[in-house]
Amino acid sequence: MSTIVRKYPGLLLLILSMIIGAGLLIAVRAGLLPKGATQLAAMSASLAGIVLAAVEGRKGGVRELLGRFLIRRVGIQ
């Protein structure tokens, strides 16, 4: 699986985010989830990126990806 992720990362990101987003919207439409859960479908690309980082990055992939959110470069004033 990891070799496929390395070979076609953009395509897998697109497919996985579409599956996650459509799955959430179908679940809301069927009444399995509340209507507020449609906002989660907007974050499907982010969730797909985290899943692919976990598959490809092995041990520290997700930690490295999410650690970048904590880096703040602010000039001293």
Domain range summary for the chain, segments of one domain joined by +: 2-67
> What pLDDT shows up at residue 13?
87
Residue 30: pLDDT over 90: yes
**Per-residue confidence band for 74, with pLDDT thresholds at 50, 70 and 90:** low
pTM over 0.75: no
Please name the residue ranges forming H helices in 1-77: 2-7, 9-30, 38-41, 44-56, 61-67
> What pLDDT shows up at residue 73?
67
CA angle 52, 50, 53 (to 5 degrees): 40
